[in-house]
Structure 1
Amino acid sequence: MGVALNHTIVWCNDQQKSADFLTGILGLPPARRFFHFLVVDLDNGVSLDFYQIEGEIRLQHYAFLIGEDDFDAIYARVLARGLDYWADPMRQRPKEISHNDGGRGFYFDDPDGHFLEVLTRPYGSGG
């Protein structure tokens, strides 16, 4: 077996709110409970394990590779919620979609301020 990411912990102030936000935006099944985590399972076998803490959250970036068919639905859910989004990680291109490597993508914040990204083509894949 090669090396593969199995799970990562997402620190949050309200794990139900954060997990519901992610599953709602990405169109995933509801999170499941595993001990003190709320676990969001992704389609490639990796999970995001939401862990609730009090106080300051160290912000992270999470990027999700999605299909072209999923992009329009996710984008519509972001628009329906009135979320801010950007085509670039420096937040200099608000309300735009990127077209890197011939795909589509954008960035947006989760309830704790983690910087989320959806993209339809991996960086460096050409196009």
Structure 2
Amino acid sequence: MQIPVTNVQLNHTVVYATDRQLSAEFIAAVLGLKVSAPFGPFLPVDLGNDVTLDYYEQPEGEPLQPQHYAFLVPDEQFDAMIARLEAIGVTHFADPNHTDAGRINHLFGGRGAYFADPDGHNMEIMTRPYARR
């Protein structure tokens, strides 16, 4: 019999990058956050809910596998994030396949957009969490 665990939380996740400084500064700029001091080989970006993205440089010569990272953001900050993407010349998309350029989606009564980071990670900002069954 399994004992239910009800207080499990994500603490950090490693984001592989070809240039950890560039990638950490990119996502921090888009989300309106700050890059923290290095922690060993990691360059953390604190998301404000006791979770960090720990940027780590991919060993040279090893291929980097793009991942997907989704951020639940306050509705009142969404437009500013889109404006920051546009200001730095990064195209945002309404869909995860990046086919509907320059548009946002309205899933689950909120707003959302997808964009690529410098290493091709598929980043998503959304103002409403996905509905779960």
> If the TM-score is normalised by the length of the shorter chain, which range does it land in?
over 0.9
Q: 1:67-78 to 2 correspondence within 5 Å? A: 67-78=74-85
| CA distance in 2: counterparts of 1:85 and 1:24, whole angstroms | 15
| TM-score, length of structure 1 as denominator length | 0.93
* Alignment-mate amino acid for residue 44 of structure 1: N
Q: Which has the higher strand share?
A: 1
Correspondence for 2:96? 89
Q: Answer whether contact 1:19 1:31 (CA < 8 A) is retained.
A: no
SS of corresponding position for 1:107: strand
Root mean square deviation, CA, Å? 1.2
Aligned length: 125
| CA distance in 1: counterparts of 2:80 and 2:36, whole angstroms | 20
Q: Answer whether contact 1:18 1:110 (CA < 8 A) is retained.
A: yes
In structure 2, list runs of 5 or more residues that go unmatched: 1-5
| TM-score, length of structure 2 as denominator length | 0.89
Cα deviation, residue 32, structure 1: 2.0
| CA distance in 2: counterparts of 1:65 and 1:109, whole angstroms | 17
| CA distance in 2: counterparts of 1:100 and 1:15, whole angstroms | 31
| CA distance in 2: counterparts of 1:32 and 1:97, whole angstroms | 33
Percent same amino acid among aligned pairs? 49
Structure with higher Rg: it is: 2
From 50, 54, 65, the counterpart of 2:55:
50
